[in-house]
Structure 1
């Protein structure tokens, strides 16, 4: 991914309903719908397939039916059924196209769980279960396509053993497999972070830094000093303290002529953080900072990056900022870097010129990114950059106090004299949905004066009787009933971006204002955008969202719905598995999204306290911590 300026996310389930008619890609959509009808594949899969396979998807599938496995959510048995419908008796388990596709599918599934690499033995075992006669050949075939790559890591060992000639003490190199897209992005991210560290010079001289930090508490003084002197810095702390520190760092730097910016995950978060009085430095969403391009053709500085040699990953958003056109900034402070996956990290660091200082802020015990990797945790564990822990100021009131307790593995009752935190018991998933609708449409607006537009419902996962899909159905019926004529939506519907668009980042919320042949008209924070028909499947209903998708924006009021433990299992809105439902990072991240009020619809029973006490985030296989020290 040399000079890569692109980012894409695993697409998840399409919005139900007919697509917006007409527009670019209509012929591809029609051809794919005809093929799916011919072979018995649900036509609801068309939007997702176009996103995953790109133009001429029908022709690609006729040439190799197992390419259907590239579409998120398609299982091997479904791809086999499709292949038999197309090829008849020629579709056998030993078809090399099948083996090659299954290898990529298994690595993609690992990526959906956050892993950037997978041991070959695990892939071989899975291929054997799928009745692939020659798993090793299947892996070689996948490597030949360059979609998957083999990686070799030299393990750490005692160099004294080598000097003593004790070769038995030297471990074998570790071999792993990964999709090129993620493995190369992780290498690019590591290379960029190392480059920023190596090329950094102090942004201000020592006497000025000493004067600026005069009177600051020790932790804030350390944060400011590290940010101004070091190429890459990690700040840890509560959300309110990180936000205040980010603004203070940028203000102090800008006051002395340093080109600084505070960057947030979404435009809405940036607008809230900046407040009504525009500061002397930009406060901007990361997507907007990187300048996404609606059409990159003919733009010399917009290289999408060869994630797969000779092709661009379908669904990629191309950015104008990158190695050949870097950001004109000396200091970049990212407020919620815990949500940064390896691909977006690679895009960001490549957009930073030599000498730019990058400050990555993150709360401890946060939910890992929706995409593969664990950038902030890996960077911290590498011990290659300064890490400053901010002392809590107690800002944020009762919701912040409860969040801090959860991060400390305790579920406690907090003082909330103004009903800042309310626990609403629910005996079942159905009652949880009923209580949630009541809170959003009546109780919170009436009792607290917070409008519906400022209330966000968050849940662990999309499926289930009290998942995001069920809650959105119930909330739409009360707040904006309609048939969903336009890609499953009606004017007035709240929507959320679930995979990156040129117009908006993942997690950005908006409101549908209309639709025509050009696409769906959505009002986002930075203005109304037209989402073309082939991209409407990247939008989800936005009254209720998964924590993974909604983490980038905080709201005046949050209703956190914690369903019965089994109800939240499955795929969440970002394509991640929530196999056990609740975890401490998920609960902490959900609660931390509330600014003024938090309602917890508690249907999980004792499982909630157990998750907070005992269940961390599932481990991820990544390489970044090793790569940045090489």
Structure 2
């Protein structure tokens, strides 16, 4: 079985890759958020609480520390207090303070345990920003800034302890220089550092993609492909040819065009007796897509999480409670001969590795993606890297129907322009707001009154999105205001009440990251949540993987489009000039099917972001690995 990856939604501290990187296998990781249970847990909690009480660490950190370090956390931290840096949200300064309280005069800046921990911490922070590798010079410079006397020795210690791994890539060079004997023109191999979790996942993803490309045979003969292409526009014709003739291909287009093309390709496959599946990021998105499909389609429409058959407690005796493993993998591959993923841009390297490892030899994989899409929440950018490798067919889909006003605005944003669109039916509404407080007020007004009353779209079909969780107009503040109006209550059950809308922020056995649900009740067994795939009971230890879901970050909400979306763009604050980017704005606007309200409190920062600010670059290896 292949263990699931931890999701990495912005603002969710427990999503970072910490722990013991060398223990992770490709596509496998610890899934944080669940403290161990039972008698051992009680004893471990008591010992850790006693240690933290004696060293001045807030008691609120006990749960996160147990979830990350296990029931023996107290002993581990007494042995090496800098292991506290493995706990999400802990900073080097806090870890140093804890070490001084725990070790007294023995806590020194040159302690080799400190150096190892800081190397792993720096690489983890890089992963939170999407990087799978980091240049050694950057790590050494950061270590100097943190007061490590011998940064090179710290890196060597981290490598020896498998806290990090060193990677070497041959640089591109002019082969003619080698033939001429001009060795000065041959660049030195590029060396980088990384966490094993992401490096191994990236290598596994590349290996799987190469395998699918190499083992694919045409699924249909030439005559059948020619018949299937008859009457199709050139771009759709090329998409059909690539899907049935090559092992891996990419489709670029709008969300609607990708969905229609995916259904069309799967329909052709099913008509010829082939097993096909159209795969979406969430079960809710799959249900929405099924409503657009022909009645009783002869192919599968499913969320990726569900298709991979998630399970809990199948990871062996050492697996943490709540660990999600997938029943589908190399030993038990997926059954469809053709898979079309509608949002391949949302795959990080770990989930990409899980998917391709679950595809049998000869499977044809089609990855869809919107142009200028927000990068995945986790490290890497597999779809963009695969396209950059120039090893697969990439087909650009032209719009096959007149675009609705929200789609017109989204397309303009993807092209770098913020335009006024014609929206006679109030399909797009710009709502100016003077500051964060007014932005929250306007949002509540739109969700609870204006949109349902004027457009007839019920509250349950309205989704609020914002760039981040924090801030006076972030999702935390927005959810607090929306709950006060829509479902007031004390949050008696793990912070939630029956009737609350929730969103999955880290994978659960019964729901993917980004899946929305409604709390229907609670009892000692846990929180009862109605998801698109049915009702699930989320035990108390796992409720930390849920977030209030009336307002969600764009990164978490990207997997499911909604009839109406309220995009809240808060005022820029010092230090967050890069919060708004063109891909983030385009992705937020593109989530709206029928209606888009833009609560505009960001002033000229919005136009500047659309015009000038692409997504930050990510350091990755997949493009190079695929061509090896």
Shorter-chain TM-score bucket reads over 0.9
2:617 to 609, 616, 619: 619
Q: Distance in 2 between matches of 1:74 and 1:126?
A: 17
Aligned to 2:176: 160
Distance 1:405 1:179, change over 3 A: same
Q: Distance in 2 between matches of 1:208 and 1:54?
A: 57
Name the stretch that deviates more: 209-218 or 514-523. 514-523
Aligned length: 605
Asked whether the 8 Å contact 2:48–2:62 carries over to 1, the reply is yes
Q: CA deviation at 1:540?
A: 1.1
Task: Give unmatched runs, 5+ long, in structure 1.
Answer: 300-310, 571-578
Q: CA deviation at 1:312?
A: 6.8
* Matching of residue 466 in structure 1 with residue 464 in structure 2: no
Q: CA deviation at 1:6?
A: 2.8
Q: CA deviation at 1:30?
A: 4.9
Aligned to 1:6: 4
Asked whether the 8 Å contact 1:325–1:351 carries over to 2, the reply is yes
Q: CA RMSD in A?
A: 2.2
After TM superposition, list the pairs within 5 Å mapping 1:592-603 onto structure 2: 592-603=590-601
Asked whether the 8 Å contact 2:252–2:369 carries over to 1, the reply is yes
Asked whether the 8 Å contact 1:441–1:452 carries over to 2, the reply is yes
Asked whether the 8 Å contact 1:547–1:590 carries over to 2, the reply is yes
Aligned to 1:574: none
Aligned to 1:308: none
User: What do the CA deviations read for 1:550-580 (whole angstroms, capped 9, x no partner)?
Assistant: 100001110000011227x66xxxxxxxx51
Distance 1:380 1:245, change over 3 A: same
Q: Distance in 2 between matches of 1:90 and 1:377?
A: 48
* Matching of residue 280 in structure 1 with residue 287 in structure 2: no
* Matching of residue 61 in structure 1 with residue 77 in structure 2: yes
Q: CA deviation at 1:516?
A: 3.1
Q: Distance in 1 between matches of 2:88 and 2:149?
A: 25
Asked whether the 8 Å contact 2:41–2:71 carries over to 1, the reply is no
Aligned to 2:553: 546
Asked whether the 8 Å contact 2:305–2:512 carries over to 1, the reply is yes
Aligned to 1:204: 220
Q: Distance in 1 between matches of 2:320 and 2:174?
A: 42
* Matching of residue 339 in structure 1 with residue 346 in structure 2: yes
Q: Distance in 1 between matches of 2:251 and 2:445?
A: 39
Q: Distance in 1 between matches of 2:319 and 2:154?
A: 23
Aligned to 1:289: 307
Aligned to 2:23: none
Structure 1 SS opposite 2:375: coil
Structure 1 SS opposite 2:437: helix
Q: Distance in 1 between matches of 2:563 and 2:185?
A: 58
* Matching of residue 506 in structure 1 with residue 513 in structure 2: yes
Q: CA deviation at 1:251?
A: 0.8
Q: Distance in 1 between matches of 2:521 and 2:95?
A: 36
User: What do the CA deviations read for 1:99-141 (whole angstroms, capped 9, x no partner)?
Assistant: 1111000000000000000000110110111111221121112
Q: Distance in 2 between matches of 1:14 and 1:537?
A: 9
Aligned to 2:606: 608
Distance 1:101 1:10, change over 3 A: farther
Name the stretch that deviates more: 158-167 or 171-180. 158-167
After TM superposition, list the pairs within 5 Å mapping 1:182-221 onto structure 2: 182-221=198-237
Aligned to 1:481: 488
Aligned to 2:270: 254
Asked whether the 8 Å contact 1:219–1:389 carries over to 2, the reply is yes
After TM superposition, list the pairs within 5 Å mapping 1:94-133 onto structure 2: 94-133=110-149
Structure 1 SS opposite 2:93: helix
2:57 to 26, 36, 41: 41
Asked whether the 8 Å contact 2:34–2:321 carries over to 1, the reply is no
Distance 1:516 1:13, change over 3 A: farther
Q: CA deviation at 1:154?
A: 0.6
Distance 1:68 1:104, change over 3 A: same
Q: Distance in 1 between matches of 2:131 and 2:402?
A: 35
2:540 to 512, 533, 542: 533
User: What do the CA deviations read for 1:4-62 (whole angstroms, capped 9, x no partner)?
Assistant: 443222472479xxx99996585245544444333322233334333433443333333
Q: Distance in 2 between matches of 1:196 and 1:37?
A: 54
Structure 2 SS opposite 1:391: coil
User: What do the CA deviations read for 1:576-600 (whole angstroms, capped 9, x no partner)?
Assistant: xxx5121100000000000111000
User: What do the CA deviations read for 1:465-495 (whole angstroms, capped 9, x no partner)?
Assistant: 1111111111111111122222222222111
2:438 to 431, 434, 439: 431
Task: Give unmatched runs, 5+ long, in structure 2.
Answer: 16-32
- Normalising by structure 2, we get a TM-score of 0.92
Q: CA deviation at 1:344?
A: 0.2
Name the stretch that deviates more: 526-535 or 76-85. 526-535
Distance 1:539 1:26, change over 3 A: farther
Distance 1:208 1:491, change over 3 A: same
Structure 2 SS opposite 1:152: strand
Q: Distance in 2 between matches of 1:33 and 1:419?
A: 56
Query: Which structure's relative contact order is higher, taking Cα pairs within 8 Å and 6+ residues apart?
Result: 1
Asked whether the 8 Å contact 2:386–2:392 carries over to 1, the reply is yes
User: What do the CA deviations read for 1:498-533 (whole angstroms, capped 9, x no partner)?
Assistant: 111222111111122233333322221111212223
Structure 2 SS opposite 1:453: helix
